[in-house]
Amino acid sequence: MSLVETYHAEHKARLYRMGGKPKPAYVPPAPVIKPIDPAPYYAGMWFHNLVNFRETTIRQIKVDDIQRAVCRHYKINRLDMLSHRRTKDLTIPRHIAMYLAKKMTMRSLPEIGRLFGGRDHTTVLHSVRKIEALEGVDDDLMARVAMIKAELLA
């Protein structure tokens, strides 16, 4: 028996004689797992849904309806609006229709582009940004957009 083992054996015997027990080895406490409260998660989802609320929840609006309403308002042919011509009397209604399609439907940019004569998603993005940039500047244009929007929601 080594010197260390002898010392430990004597120490254990002394503790036993005095009525004590040897000190147990240190065992770290088990981690406390707290249950997750789902209320903040659902509150966050409620806020997220409120922020991303689209007016289509009232009535499902289709891109085709938007195109028809814009064409009716500007008195242009739907095929002309979907064509690749870039005259100003066609581009403004096209921009407005793409803007409303993005804001009032759940369609993605590539889907909207396909529905507007096979255009690229960046073209749709340009149209949306252009109308958003004109929101505070051109009151006549925004009044027209509001009229078309009201017609679609009626």
Contact indicator for 36, 79 with CB cutoff of 8 Å: no
pTM of the model: 0.63
Supply the pLDDT for residue 28: 75
Q: What is the dihedral of CA 71, 75, 77, 81, to 10 degrees?
A: -50
Query: Considering only CA atoms, which of 88, 99, 103 is closest in space to residue 130?
Result: 99
Supply the pLDDT for residue 154: 83
Other CB atoms within 10 A of residue 125 CB: 15
For residue 106, the 8-state DSSP code is -
Supply the pLDDT for residue 80: 94
Given its phi and psi angles, is residue 19 left (phi above 0), alpha (psi -120 to 50 degrees) or beta?
A: left
Supply the pLDDT for residue 30: 78
Supply the pLDDT for residue 10: 75
Of the CA atoms within 13 Å of residue 66, those in its CB half-sphere come to 27
Q: What is the mean pLDDT of residues 114-135?
A: 95
Supply the pLDDT for residue 60: 84
Q: What is the mean pLDDT of residues 98-117?
A: 95
Alpha-carbon span 133 to 130, nearest angstrom? 5
Alpha-carbon span 124 to 114, nearest angstrom? 10
